Amino acid sequence: MAESKDASGKNPVNEVTLQPALRQIGTTRCPICQTPVAVFLTKTNRPFVNCSFCSARVFYNGQESMRLLKKKMKPVGDPDVKFRID
């Protein structure tokens, strides 16, 4: 199939950039099965983990639980992305 190219003929005109739906802020161990899992932020900047091994979903809503998660978590990616501890 032929791709549409711009006037110079080098780059496609309709270039698609994929972005993740949720921001990943780090990794930690699943509290149930101890498998390494990613820590994501919800739309309201609350951290949660979704374990693909044991199917556990853990949301960290309380101030103390977020503080403990932050101690255990290994940060990943953008250092400007932070979750709030109320």
pLDDT above 50 (res 3): yes
Closest-CA residue to 57 (of 46, 44, 68, 71):
46
Q: Is the per-residue pLDDT at 9 higher than 70?
A: no
Q: How far apart are the first and last CA of the chain?
A: 54
What is the chain's percent helix, strand, coil content, to nearest 5?
Answer: 10, 30, 60
Contact 60, 66 (CB under 8 A): yes
β-partners of residue 78 are none
| Tokens representing residue 16 in the block | 């698609």
Residue 86 has pLDDT above 50, yes or no: no
**Is the overall model pTM greater than 0.85, yes or no?**
no
